[in-house]
Chains A and B, each alone.
Chain A
């Protein structure tokens, strides 16, 4: 799920070569042939009401050109609901959702990616992985952020990327190229308005990859938060490509 960072990170445009290299390096360092974890998701709405969900996430392939399946395991009402994501380097990803109760998959169309991901503070777009070249970058400077020295980079998505964000600001740690924070700004009339902030914490090295074990998304418009914890995280597992197809999605209920 730390690929989420790159989604936001790559979805923005900028020009500085240095900035692009930093982002590219950060992506390279987090690269793994596959990934699996069990996630816990807590959505805390404006009334501070908390709802919890659990899922299992599997990814095959490197960032920007991977296939992933996210399957809910709890609570009972949503158990079995799954999301299949096919990421492409040159275009937006394909996404399908499987709902076992009606035994149907639905394609989530490109234009719907601004929609919140099932009541969380992520949007479908936030779940995508994109190639570094889908955005341009500008190094804004260096600053201490959340206790670490970071590069502050502005990323602007290319026009054809059809992003909900006009730009994002990224804080990447200088010592290990780990992303610490992403801030997404609205598009159109809301160009200067910060709409979403994602913070990465509990960073530890797993199988030689620096990984954030906790993400906190804050939707500033709705004043709600989603906290995601990654457990039992493993990289480079032997996963079968057949598990990342619509047939597999339908099969495993």
Chain B
């Protein structure tokens, strides 16, 4: 402790700015890690809480994906000896049409029994808040809203709320107000209750329920009842606890967790190099102190521990700052992710409480500390090896010996070779990720050599531009490769991170755009919901021929999309007339033959699956899928695999006749409408709206509107990527500032000598500027190359471990071109401070430095 107080503290005080910049990487790495995971956990926690708030006392839920199931199932469930209470439920998200209120989740329940499961808080001390339960049931326009919603909108008892239903715009009457606790607080109070049979009418569900909520009889085991009921109902229906609904949500958030992890690891890697760099310089600058300490009897171990302690404290402080920043970041991210979920699930999930998990904080703290200790270990070891006699010799340690260089190059070559081998054996997860790590380490190990070669290559050009300053700058970098390589490595990592993130965004955009051009080629999409991703409202299939009869319409394809649970994960089932679809849409075939696969699917012999489904579930052409349907488990052969980005969890395409047979569901989510050549698009659209718009919920989206919507959705998905890019650019800039600050401090005497022998202030300024720009060029060059490798790996990660999406490799040249002026500009700007410090300082002091 005494050494810390006497030796370290004065040094830190003298180089406060540098110390702060050094910790920046750790701060950002820890902050991104904590922010991303805390946001995910908070939104997930809020979602699960919402699920349980809505579920009430429900112990098990019977579902058949989104398709629902016939009403008769209810009696079967109620008759099961282990079941105490079983009630039907319909769930749908509806736009309120009230400005700023967003969507309302409507829960259709049977109030005659549902109150045994859910506490509606309708009554308090005998004060009946529901006007008349019989009127509520007798009138299908009855709605119970939460107190919060009622207060916000001014919709008190007996007030009317107009909503668009499948029978056109309808007025609903508020016949009850739930107290703002428990269930009523779900989705921030944007929850309403209506009679389940009225909901069937309003949402066009026919005689089906979405799910059955149940409790088990007192004394019965929940799991036992679950298994018994599952056997009784067959595999076509799922019997699970309410918590399993969080799975799908978790799968979505996993993408963010993973991408957050990659960014965090990169930021920590950058931090590692920044710390390594700073500590290496510190060891150099404090060689005389170390020599004196050693001469006074300090052991090598004590010196090593001193430097390790310093790096540990740096890591600890950086990590603590990162934790605090992470919690702040989490708040912003939670709102963003919650809103994003709302786009897909109908109602925004608000994470009102963002609370970090202590275990997560401890892990992040440990990660930051460990990174710092690893970074400090080599400089600490070097410090311990300082020979007291040679301690006053300067400069030599900045040179990397030929032997060390050879060893580095050899190690890098071995790592690179192993990484290449790993690519070929990358089907095993551990091998793949080892290869990923080895390739990055190989490039980083090669950084000094690459930096040296590049600087040598640049030297003539620099000399030509500025004969004195250019040569001086190049030589300075060549003479201190250890100092330069740390900064260059940190910068290269930052740039690689930006390239990787930008690349995946570009690849996704281009792949999705290409797919959308092919798959979404009808002139109009007619849906019952405001958004194509919402499936709350369904049409009757009799509407199809009516639309087809409208003048100008050439063909109408009816599509029913439902989310089902396949092997525990939600996937999208798309039922349509496959033969007609195949005539119009030519998706890229991954496995199988186009004609055969669609003809077979049209005959009901099997299904065509999306590429991401195939990758996530590891199925191929010819395999047999076990698909749950309300009528039981179906065995469907995979007739082909196509590239399809309709759903992040994967799609199964089957013929509608097969769907009708097994799901007994003749409703439609969307109609794909093709117009006759020469038909006036706007006129046909207006005609459609005139004919059907007044009778039911009827939205006509043009091809362009749908594509714009998908683009917007994709952009939102990648919204966080841009935040990560900004973080990476910030880290890159910090890296340059740090490296130059360290470099100038280290070379104050050298720069002083230059001035003493007649060097002009401007020459010194220009030397430092050129040096900064050169570091920028080196970082950009290596970073672009490393980014290319990084992009390959993260596309593979996306394919194999995230969404199963096979994205085309697209190097983000536009982002690379943007980075050039940004990084070089940042390098130049970050050089101004150190350059001014170098030229304005006292010459005597500079000459006396060290």
Contacts and interface: CB of A to CB of B under 8 A. Distances in A.
Interface of A: 45-47, 51, 53, 72, 77-78, 80-81, 97, 99-102, 104, 106-112, 114-116, 118-119, 124, 222-224
Contacts of A109: 78, 85-87, 113
Given A106-B112, A109-B78, A111-B78, A78 B135 contact: yes
A116 B120 CA distance: 14
Contact of A119 (B75, B134, B198): B134
A7 B135 CA distance: 26
A106 B197 contact: yes
B137 interface: yes
Given A102-B198, A111-B116, A222-B126, A118 B134 contact: yes
A115 B133 CA distance: 11
B139 A115 contact: no
B138 A78 contact: yes
A57 to B, nearest CB: 15
Given A101-B138, A116-B133, A47 B127 contact: yes
A25 to B, nearest CB: 35
A167 to B, nearest CB: 19
B116 A114 contact: yes
Given A77-B139, A78-B135, A104-B197, A111 B127 contact: no
A72 B84 contact: no
A222 B126 CA distance: 5
B134 A53 contact: yes
B171 interface: no
B132 interface: yes
17 contacts: A46-B126, A72-B134, A99-B137, A99-B138, A101-B140, A101-B198, A102-B195, A102-B198, A106-B110, A108-B113, A109-B86, A109-B87, A112-B112, A112-B113, A119-B132, A222-B126, A223-B126
Most buried by B among A99, A109, A223: A109
Interface in B175-228: 195, 197-198, 200-201
A100 B139 CA distance: 9
Interface string B136-147: 011110000000
A170 to B, nearest CB: 27
Given A106-B110, A109-B86, A115-B116, A77 B138 contact: yes
Given A81-B134, A102-B201, A222-B123, A107 B116 contact: no
Contacts of B138: 72, 77-78, 80-81, 99-101
Given A112-B113, A118-B134, A222-B123, 17 more contacts: A46-B128, A77-B132, A77-B135, A77-B138, A97-B112, A99-B138, A99-B195, A100-B138, A101-B138, A102-B140, A109-B78, A109-B86, A110-B78, A111-B113, A115-B112, A119-B134, A222-B126
Interface residues of B, number: 32
Contacts of B139: 77, 101
A104 B138 CA distance: 10
A117 to B, nearest CB: 9
Interface in B349-391: none
B757 interface: no
A224 B126 contact: yes
Contacts of B85: 109, 111-112
Interface in B601-660: none
A45 B135 contact: no
B115 interface: yes
Contacts of B197: 99, 102, 104, 106
Contacts of B200: 102, 104
Given A77-B135, A78-B135, A102-B198, A115 B113 contact: yes
B402 interface: no
A53 B140 CA distance: 19
Contacts of B133: 116, 118-119
In order of increasing CB-CB distance, the 4 nearest A-B pairs are A46-B126, A112-B113, A118-B134, A119-B133
A124 to B, nearest CB: 8
Contacts of A104: 197, 200
A108 B116 contact: no
Contacts of B198: 101-102
A140 to B, nearest CB: 29
Interface string B82-97: 0111110000000000
B296 interface: no
B839 to A, nearest CB: 86
A29 B128 CA distance: 39
Contacts of A51: 132
Nearest to A97: B112
B125 A46 contact: yes
A224 B112 CA distance: 19
B112 A108 contact: yes
B127 to A, nearest CB: 7
Interface in B718-753: none
B684 to A, nearest CB: 35
B197 to A, nearest CB: 4
